[in-house]
Chain A
Amino acid sequence: MAENAKLMQGNEACTMGAIAAGLQFFAGYPITPSTEIAEMCSEELPKFGGKFIQMEDEIGSIAACIGASLTGKKAMTATSGPGFSLMQESIGYASLCEIPVVIINVQRMGPSTGMPTSPAQGDIMQARWGTHGDHQVIALAPGNVKECFELTFKAFEYAETYRVPVIVLADEVISHMREKVILPNPSSYKIPMRAMPKNPAGYKPYGADPDGGVPLMAPFGQGYRWHCTGLFHDESGAPSGKAAVAEKLLHRLERKIEKNAQAMEDYYAESMDDCDVAVVSFGSSAMAALSAVRRARKEGKKAGMLRLKTIWPFPDQALRRLCASAKKIIVPEMNQGQLVLEVERAIHGKAGVIKLGKVTGELFHPDEIYRALKEAF
C-alpha cells in the first residue's frame, strides 16, 4: 500500500488528472493559488508533444485554449477569481459555439485582488452566471486531493461529451493541501473524446437533435470548412438574426445540459438516511463540516453530511432525495451565502435552510459548524 501511495498536492493532482484525460494544450497566466498547475504543465506537456504557453493575460489564455480546442486538441487553463472574471466573455463564446474547454478556478478571497493567498468559495455564482445571457456551463468542486484528479478528469469527459466549458471550482485549501493519494491504474482510464464527423461532404457543424443533441465537431485544419461565430447561427454555422433560429439554438443548448443533469449528479453522503439536521456543503468547508457531523453523531444526534461534487447543473434531485428526512439544513460556505440560495430553491420549503457564511479568509473550524448543529437540534 505504502509503495503506491504518494504525497500529492491538489494542484498537482488537477494537472495529473488533466494529463490522464489527454490534455494537449495549456495556455494560462500564473496567479495564486493556481500557479502550480501552470508550472507543472510547463514541465510536463513538452515531454509528450503537448504545448504550454504563458499568455499576456487571462483573456488571451482562454482565447488560446478555445482556438486549440477548435483544432481538436484537449485544452485547459487555470486561474483564480480575478483571472476568472477576465475570462467570462470568452466562456460565453465557448458556450454558444459549443467548444470544449476546461477551466480550473482555484478560488481565493475576493472581490478584486482581495486576499490573494487566502481561501474562499465566492465564485459559485460567477461560475454559473459570470458571462452574459442565458448559457450553460458545468462546474465541479473537489473535496480532497484525490478528487482534484478525478474531477479534472471528469471535467474533460463532460467538456468533450457535451461540448461545453467545464469549470473545476477548487479553493486555496484543497489546491495547496498535500495528502496521501493512491491513483487508479492508468489502464483503467476511459479517455474522453468528442464525437467527430467522418466526411467533410455535407457536414453541418451545428446539426443535431433539437432536444439537447450534441453536434459532431470537426477539427480545423483537416479539410473541413465551417463558420464558428458568437453570433446566433443556424445548423450550417452561418450567422442568423431570425427569431426561430435563436430560440431553437438556445433551447437545444439548455436541453443538452438539463436532460443530462441527473446523470451528472455527484456527491459524497454520510449518515443522511435518518438525519434530522443535514449539513450541505462543498470543497474545503465540507471537511470541517464532516468533522462536526461525526462528532454530533458520536453524541447520538442525528446529523448528516452531504458534500456536493457537482455544483452546476445544481443537483436538485439528489438534494431532495437525500435530505428527505431532514427538518433543517445548514449550508456552510466561505462566502456570504451563494450555494444556500440554490439549496433553498431546490428544497422549496420542505426543510428550514440555515445560512452559515464565513468571509475571514480562513477555513471553518469544525467547532463553528458543530455549534450551528447544536443550535439547530
Chain B
Amino acid sequence: MRTEFRLSGSGGQGLLLAGIVLAEAAILEGKNAVQTQSYGPEARGGSSKAEVVISEDEIDYPKATNPDYLLALTADSYKTYGPLMKDGLIIVDSSVNLDSEIKARTLPLPILAAAADTVGKKVTANIVALGVLAGLAGLATRDTLRKAVTARVPKGTEELNLKALDVGLGLAAQSGAPAGSSSKEISP
C-alpha cells in the first residue's frame, strides 16, 4: 500500500527536514520511501513543499498524486493545497482560518503554538509536525522516530527535537483520530 504525505508551509520552517526524517524512519522500519521537494528561489519565506511516499512495494512515481495526509502550517499553503485534497486528511495549524470551500476532512492542531510554548522554541514546529504526522499515520515506533530525528537534526539540538517529537506524538494521540488510518479509511 502506498501512503502519501504532503508537507507545506513557508520556506525556512524546516518542512524539508521533517520530510527527510519521515522517510528515514520508514526506511529504518524496512519500508521503501521517496522524498521530493519543491520550493521557490528564496532562502527564507516563499512557499515550500516536501512530499514523502512510503510503500512496502517498489515506488515508481515519486510525487504525491492523491495525498493521504496534507500538513499545512500557513494560510497560503492551506489555500493552495487544501482544495486539491480528495479523500485524505488535512492537518492544519490552528492559527489558520478554515475555509468552508475546502471540503476534505480537516484536523486543526496547535502545532506552531505547541512548538513555541510547550517545547519552548518556535523553530521546532517542523519536528512537532513530524510527530503529529507519524502518530496519525502510525508508520513507525517512537523508538524508530527518535533514531531518525537524532540522525538528521543539527548536532546539539537532539534533546530539544526529541522533546518536540513527543509533543507532536502527544497532539496526534489527543486528536482522537485513530492511528494508522487516514480519512481514506474513515467515514467522515
A104-143 vs B: 1/0 string, CB under 8 Å? 0000000000001110000000000000000000000000
Is B34 within 8 A of A177, CB to CB?
A: yes
Known: A32-B41, A117-B38. 9 other contacts (CB 8 A): A2-B29, A176-B37, A178-B33, A179-B32, A179-B62, A290-B61, A363-B63, A365-B65, A367-B65
Contact of B34 with A178 in the complex, beta carbons under 8 Å? yes
Contact in complex: B35, A288 (CB < 8 Å): no
Whether the pair A178, B60 counts as a contact (CB closer than 8 A) is no
In the complex, per-residue mask of A26-48: 1 if CB is within 8 Å of any chain B CB, else 0 = 00000010000000000000000
Decide: B33 and A179 in contact? CB cutoff 8 A.
Answer: yes
- Quick check: A2 and B27 within 8 Å, CB to CB? yes
Cα(A287)–Cα(B20), bound, Å? 20
| Interface assignment of B59: CB less than 8 Å from any CB of chain A | yes
Does chain A have a CB within 8 A of B111? no
- Distance to closest chain A CB from B134 (angstroms): 15
Flag whether B40 is at the interface (Cβ < 8 A).
yes
Q: Interface of A with B (CB < 8 Å)?
A: 1-2, 5-7, 32, 116-118, 173, 176-180, 284, 287-288, 290-291, 294, 363, 365-367
Contact of B62 among A7, A32, A287, A294 (CB under 8 A): A287
Contact: B35 with A179, CB < 8 Å? yes
Question: Which B residues contact A (CB, under 8 angstroms)?
Answer: 20, 23-24, 27-30, 32-41, 59-63, 65
**In the docked arrangement, what's the CA distance between A118 and B38, Å?**
7
- A178-B23 in contact (CB<8A): yes
- Whether A177 contacts B62 by the Cβ 8 Å rule is yes
Contact yes or no, A178 B20, CB < 8 A: yes
- Inter-subunit contact B30/A1 (CB<8 Å): yes
CB distance from B84 to the nearest CB of A (A): 12
Give the distance to chain A from B65, nearest Cβ to Cβ, in Å: 7
Known A-B contacts A2-B27, A2-B30, A7-B27; A291 and B35 likewise in contact (beta carbons under 8 Å): no
Chain B residues whose CB sits within 8 angstroms of the CB of A367 once the complex forms: 65
> Can you report 12 A-B residue pairs in the complex whose CB atoms are below 8 A from each other?
A2-B28, A2-B29, A7-B23, A7-B24, A116-B41, A117-B41, A173-B62, A177-B34, A178-B23, A179-B35, A180-B27, A180-B34
Nearest Cβ in chain B — how far from A228, in angstroms? Answer: 40
B34 CB contacts on chain A under 8 angstroms:
177-180
A7 and B20 within 8 A (CB):
yes
B81 to chain A, nearest CB (A): 14
Would you give the shortest CB distance from A150 to chain B, in whole angstroms?
17
Chain A residue with the shortest CB-CB distance to B34: A179
Contact check, B27 vs A287: say whether CB atoms are below 8 A apart: no
Q: How far is the CA of A173 from the CA of B23 in the complex (A)?
A: 16
Looking across the interface, which residue of chain B has its beta carbon closest to that of A6? Answer: B27
Bound Cα distance from A294 to B30, whole angstroms: 24
CA distance A365 to B65 in the complex (A): 8
